[in-house]
Amino acid sequence: MERSLEQEVRKLVTDILEDYKGNRAIDRMEDFLDQPDKDVIINIVNKMLRILFPGYYRDRTYRVYNAASQLSLQIEDVMYYLNREIAKVLKYSSDGTRDSEEITIAFLKKIPSVREYLETDLEAAFDGDPAAASKDEIILSYPGMLAITVYRMAHELHLLSVPLIPRTMTEYAHSVTGIDIHPGATIGKYFFIDHGTGIVVGETTVIGEHVKVYQGVTLGALSTSGGQRLKNKKRHPTIEDYVTIYSNASILGGETVIGRDSVIGGNSFITRSVAAGSRVSIKSQE
């Protein structure tokens, strides 16, 4: 029996190695040690959470109780691993001559700015949800807050034209929270996601300040049948300040603008612009 299993394993190895010779995208094996590491990128996200929220996310491996020393260790860790991963992904960039260390430092310098935005997001969540017992509860348990936090850091890397890593970060948050925010989206301060499951925010979406979005909302493209020909074109809507979008609404198209102070009712399907101060709801469904 053992001999038979051994033979089967050898045959499987031979067959699969032969299958690798198909010259398809999934067959690539060269330079596999120089490929970006998804697990390392996720680890960077978790280390960044400890830097952004020092009193909430803790690393028990550090035996240093001085805040300055601990922060120094955490930043050194992020700098080392992020620099290494950025160096790997620059081959996907149109300008592969850029210095990964300079990009890493530029990103880390954005931490105070990211934290400034996160404070407003936290305030919007607390003010907008009477079920929230405390801001601590929001930071530690709200999936919307986690998704926004990961988006905020990924967006800064996106602005630095870092390939692949920002999308890996937000897709990790997507897998954990059910909230899909593309790192290319532009989102203003005081952004609140309530409940959150099933939300999709497309790459060229522009969201103003004090916007509140409920579960199941899609801010998407009107059509993606053009494929790669649509790259770098405005495909997703613009949501102006003080807009509330209720559950399962779909707002589609790059020319679609939801005007300031509008309220979009649940299950609405919108492909045209809405004037400021509008109230949109479904009266009869076809």
CB 264 within 8 A of CB 270: yes
What fold, for 35-178?
Answer: serine acetyltransferase, domain 1 (1.10.3130)
Buried b (16+ CB within 10 A) or exposed e, 175-202: eebbbbbbbbbebbbbbbbbbbeebbbb
Which sequence spans correspond to the domains of the chain?
Answer: 35-178, 198-286
Could you tell me the pTM of the whole model?
0.89
Give the pLDDT of the chain (286 residues) as one tens digit per residue. 556 888 888 999 898 988 988 888 888 776 666 789 999 999 999 999 999 998 887 766 655 567 778 888 899 999 999 999 999 999 888 776 889 999 999 999 999 999 999 999 999 999 999 999 999 999 999 999 999 999 999 999 999 999 999 999 999 999 999 999 999 999 999 999 999 999 999 999 999 999 999 999 999 998 766 677 677 789 999 999 999 999 999 999 999 999 999 999 999 999 999 999 999 998 755 5
Give the per-residue pLDDT at 274. Answer: 96
**Phi, psi angle pair for 219, to nearest 5°:** -110, 90
20 Cβ neighbours under 8 A, 6+ residues apart: 27, 29
What is the rounded CA–CA span in Å between residue 226 and residue 125?
A: 37
What topology is assigned to 198-286 in CATH? UDP N-Acetylglucosamine Acyltransferase; domain 1 (2.160.10)
CA gap 106, 259 in Å, rounded: 34
Q: Phi then psi for 7, rounded to 5 degrees?
A: -65, -40
Tell me how far CA of residue 84 lies from CA of 42, 46, 77, 101, 222, in angstroms. Answer: 14, 17, 11, 9, 38
